[in-house]
């Protein structure tokens, strides 16, 4: 039986969160003399002298309309990385609890666990890049608080089997954190609508990939209102700046343009996969539900260094478990992909 109160660290339960000036004031006003701001404005604009909304309600309301989830079930972080850090700090007791990761996967789950002195148990995916359910069950202990799953997965680009994720959700008493950073490029459905069914589900998404806003560093976390309340309790009071909030609101009003970019990226992904398979040193191009391809080649380091000399940067993943001999290639524009292929054709000859 899932019990959120059992998961929250005792010191977090007792914590009195910082209350900002904007938290304490509700309503309309014309004179703000509460937050020790510069009332004369700034060299940039008269608007940026004021602190931003600490809970980003306008942005959350817009997201809630698009995602079909209540605004109170959304946490916005300074990138998904902040959301990962907050989850570990809220629910994992340092030097006592553990999290489980399923490599190969996104590296920051492990990094933030180590920063917070939380043990990490690695349960590698199967050779088919799916959850090893039996090994995962064996790895869970009374001190396992979080399981991080990435679907579509980075760096393998595939989606995890939906029924396997559901099985984990149904049989684990802690939090299952499903990172859906690449879901917009996938053939699979998001798990966000399943939040009502699974009280232990946390879904992370981002504006860095499909929305094309990596420079703004804005991550989204969807969970029950109770989980979000815990995270809001410990997040920095003004973690999302005003400029980011304004620009994201503009982007959210241009959904059709974002969808058009996604269609174009997927089209380029499929063409690039075909082109890469025709190269004599490419051993395998793995199926992708993301905006990148994992490609197994005869000499990953050699290909990586060759492309680097040509001014083309890809990611060498050959030192990662199950990705031996692989490079990861982000889908570029049509012109960028042509430059890449022209260079690789010269390498193959």
Q: How far apart are the first and last CA of the chain?
A: 60
| Single pTM value for the model | 0.95
Q: Where are the alpha helices (DSSP H) in 191-254?
A: 225-234, 242-252
In eight-state DSSP terms, residue 90 is H
Note the pLDDT of residue 19: 83
Residues 197-239 pLDDT 10s: 999 999 999 999 999 999 999 999 999 999 999 999 999 999 9
Query: CATH for 256-348?
Result: 3.90.1150.10
- Asked whether residue 193 carries a pLDDT value surpassing 80, the answer given is yes
- Three-state secondary structure call for residue 164: helix
**pLDDT category, 341, cuts 50, 70, 90?**
very high
Note the pLDDT of residue 35: 87
Question: Domain residue spans in the chain?
Answer: 4-253, 256-348
- Asked whether residue 46 carries a pLDDT value surpassing 70, the answer given is no
* Helix pair angle (57-67, 242-252), 10° resolution: 30
Quick one: fold of 4-253? 3.40.640
d(CA 15, CA 192): 29
Mean pLDDT of the chain: 96
| pLDDT, average across residues 150-175 | 98
């Amino acid at each position: 039986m899932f019990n959120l109160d059992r998961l929250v660290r005792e010191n977090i339960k007792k914590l009195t969160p910082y209350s900002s000036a904007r938290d304490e004031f509700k309503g309309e006003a014309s004179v703000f003399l509460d937050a020790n701001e510069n009332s004369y404005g700034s060299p940039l604009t008269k608007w940026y002298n004021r602190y931003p909304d600490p809970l980003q309600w306008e942005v959350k309301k817009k997201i809630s309309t698009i995602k079909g989830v209540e605004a109170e079930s959304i946490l916005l972080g300074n990138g998904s990385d902040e959301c990962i850090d907050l989850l570990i700090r809220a629910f994992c007791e340092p030097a006592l609890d553990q999290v489980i990761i399923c490599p190969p996967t996104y590296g920051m789950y492990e990094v933030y666990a180590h920063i917070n002195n939380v043990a990490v148990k690695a349960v590698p995916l199967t050779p088919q890049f799916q959850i090893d359910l039996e090994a995962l069950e064996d790895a869970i202990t009374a001190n396992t608080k979080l399981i991080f799953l990435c679907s579509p997965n980075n760096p393998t680009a595939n989606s995890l089997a939906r029924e396997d994720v559901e099985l984990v959700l149904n049989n684990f008493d802690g939090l299952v954190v499903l990172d859906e950073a690449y879901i917009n490029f996938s053939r699979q459905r998001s798990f966000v609508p399943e939040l009502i069914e699974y009280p232990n589900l946390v879904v992370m998404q981002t504006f860095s990939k499909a929305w094309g806003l990596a420079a703004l560093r804005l991550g989204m976390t969807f969970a029950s209102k109770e989980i979000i309340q815990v995270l809001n309790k410990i997040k920095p009071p003004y973690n999302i700046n005003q400029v980011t909030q304004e620009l994201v609101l503009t982007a959210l009003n241009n959904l059709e343009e974002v969808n058009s970019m996604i269609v174009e990226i997927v089209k380029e992904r499929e063409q690039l996969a075909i082109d890469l398979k025709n190269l004599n040193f490419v051993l395998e191009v793995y199926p992708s539900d993301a905006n990148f391809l994992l490609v197994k080649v005869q000499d990953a380091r050699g290909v990586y260094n060759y492309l680097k000399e040509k001014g083309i940067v890809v990611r060498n993943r050959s030192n990662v478990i199950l990705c031996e001999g692989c490079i990861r290639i982000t889908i570029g524009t049509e012109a960028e992909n042509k430059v890449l292929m022209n260079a690789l054709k010269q390498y193959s000859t």
